[in-house]
Amino acid sequence: MRETIAPRHAILGVLAGLVVLVLTAGIVGHPGTDAGDVSEIAVAGAAAEPGAEPGKDSGSAPVIAKLPTIPALPHGGTRVFDGRMLVAYYGTAGTPVLGVLGETSPEQAIRRVRRAARPFDRPGKPAVPVMELIVTVADGHPGPGRDFSHDIDHSAVAEYVRAARRHKVMLVLDLQTGRSDFLKVAKRWEWALKHPWVGLALDPEWRMGRGDVPGRRIGSVNASEVNRTSAWLEGLVRRERLPQKIFMLHQFRREMIRGIDRVRARPHLAMVQHVDGFGTPGQKMSTYLHVARAKQFHMGFKLFYDEDIRRMSAAKVLRIRPRVQFVSFQ
């Protein structure tokens, strides 16, 4: 997202038909450019005429080497945040217990989240609908891997991936890993994260230490584990030539992310700190202001259909400072 590529040297060829392809890992376009922009490099003299004297310009037209283009995000361009609010439904497949997303089919959920997103429209900037799907769910029992979590069925995740593509909405895969390392679990979902419209969220509340059990205490994660995971995800973005990808950290207590000031920025990732506190508007704002690190992250905010008391309206969320850019409903 940070660089465009231009030729640095004129390459004079002595072999007929020599074409120089210039490839640089991680090209995702200069900020403000769109995925539809064709990256072209004019290589001067790359196709010298037969018999041309070495070091002399033959006068032939430059060869154009086309770099692979970066696919666009569902809302256009290659950058996640472009001034519009992202609005998500949160949950897991097939059950309403963990959030509103699981109350219906993916198709119905998309229709519902579109309706929920409309009040967050700004002039000329319609809100962007998102589905945040818990794909690895924390458990209160060890399970076969003894890591106190399980992956939901891959076919169910594939259904959400396909629905998001059909309807041009974004999808975020949420991880509640129990005692497993976030990076280890994230790699199991690489097949889905290769899609341009699919991002990743880590939920430290459910990241347990040795001897801890989900639901009995609030979990936490070290910045080093977050950084290893984000480095891997950014590597995937660069390798697959993808647009910027959401990388979200859920949090409602400072101690949930130990050493958060050491969490590294990744130019190929849209880094989001999502504040999840519930209760009255006053309680929610107290949590938000206590935790928020708006200079380090794009800010997220959660609205609970059941747990919130006098649930905040879209107008009130839009007035929050530091500004919220991602809001989800659970």
- Each residue's pLDDT expressed in tens, for the chain with a length of 330 residues: 333 333 333 333 333 333 333 333 333 333 333 333 333 323 333 333 333 433 344 455 555 556 679 999 999 999 999 999 999 999 999 999 999 999 999 999 999 999 999 999 999 999 999 999 999 999 999 999 999 999 999 999 999 999 999 999 999 999 999 999 999 999 999 999 999 999 999 999 999 999 999 999 999 999 999 999 999 999 999 999 999 999 999 999 999 999 999 999 999 999 999 999 999 999 999 999 999 999 999 999 999 999 999 999 999 999 999 999 999 999
Burial class (CB in 10 A: 0-12, 13-18, 19+), 165: middle
Cα Dmax for the chain: 82
pLDDT of residue 112: 98
In a domain, 79, yes or no: no
Of 16, 40, 70, the one marking the end of a domain is: 70
Residues 279, 308 contacting (CB under 8 angstroms): yes
Give the list of residues 6+ apart from residue 133 with CB closer than 8 angstroms, or none.
91, 92, 93, 101, 157, 160, 171, 172, 173, 174
User: Could you read off the pLDDT of 231-255 as tens digits, one per residue?
Assistant: 999 999 999 999 999 999 999 999 9
In a domain, 295, yes or no: yes
Residues 277, 285 contacting (CB under 8 angstroms): no
pLDDT of residue 68: 74
In a domain, 17, yes or no: yes
Tokens of 142: 């060890």
Report, in angstroms and rounded to the nearest whole number, the Rg of the chain calculated over CA atoms.
Answer: 23
In a domain, 76, yes or no: no
Instruction: Sort strands 269-275 and 298-303 into parallel, antiparallel or unpaired.
Output: parallel
Phi/psi at 282 (nearest 5 deg)? -65, -45
Q: Both 105 and 61 in a single domain?
A: no
Q: Both 1 and 129 in a single domain?
A: no
Give the range of the structural domain holding residue 61, as residue numbers without chain letter. 1-70
In a domain, 77, yes or no: no
pLDDT of residue 204: 98
Helix-strand-coil split of the chain, %, nearest 5: 25, 25, 50
Which amino acid makes up residue 252?
A: F
Residues 161, 121 contacting (CB under 8 angstroms): no
Of 38, 70, 102, the one marking the end of a domain is: 70
- In the chain, how many domains are there? 2
Q: Both 173 and 284 in a single domain?
A: yes
pLDDT of residue 94: 94
**CATH label of the domain that carries residue 286:** 3.20.20
pTM for the model: 0.81
Q: Both 263 and 139 in a single domain?
A: yes
Tokens of 25: 């890992």
Tokens of 182: 């976030």
Residues 84, 128 contacting (CB under 8 angstroms): yes
Which amino acid makes up residue 170?
A: M
Query: Is residue 167 classed as helix, strand or coil in its secondary structure?
Result: helix
Distance of CA 41 to the CA centre of its chain: 29
Instruction: Sort strands 40-43 and 86-91 into parallel, antiparallel or unpaired.
Output: unpaired
